[in-house]
């Protein structure tokens, strides 16, 4: 039983680390998008916001 548990735990830790990375990236994209919206305002074409996100100083890519 202990051996089975030891084999599962590293996998769960790796999945947890991946989820933290994904959540960090999502939060970074969300915050950057919000900052762009505050700076640019509303009413622009979506391409304006896409280009702003693409060329942001954080450069999420």
Q: What is the pLDDT of residues 2-61, one digit of tens each?
A: 556 556 556 667 778 888 899 999 998 899 889 988 998 888 898 998 888 888 776 555
Assigned domain for 61 exists: no
- What's the total number of domains in the chain? 1
Assigned domain for 59 exists: no
Provide the token pair at 27. Answer: 């939060």
Provide the token pair at 28. Answer: 């970074």
Assigned domain for 60 exists: no
Is this model's pTM higher than 0.85 or not? no
Specify the pLDDT at position 55: 82
Q: What is the extent of the structural domain holding 41? A: 2-54
Is the distance from CB of 34 to CB of 27 less than 8 angstroms? no
- CA 15 – CA 58 distance, rounded (Å): 26
Assigned domain for 14 exists: yes
């Amino acid at each position: 039983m202990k051996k089975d548990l030891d084999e599962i735990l590293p996998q769960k830790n790796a999945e947890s680390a991946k989820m933290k990375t994904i959540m960090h990236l999502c939060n970074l994209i969300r915050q950057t998008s919000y900052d762009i919206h505050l700076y640019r305002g509303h009413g622009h074409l979506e391409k304006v916001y896409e280009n702003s996100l693409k060329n942001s100083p954080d450069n999420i890519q």
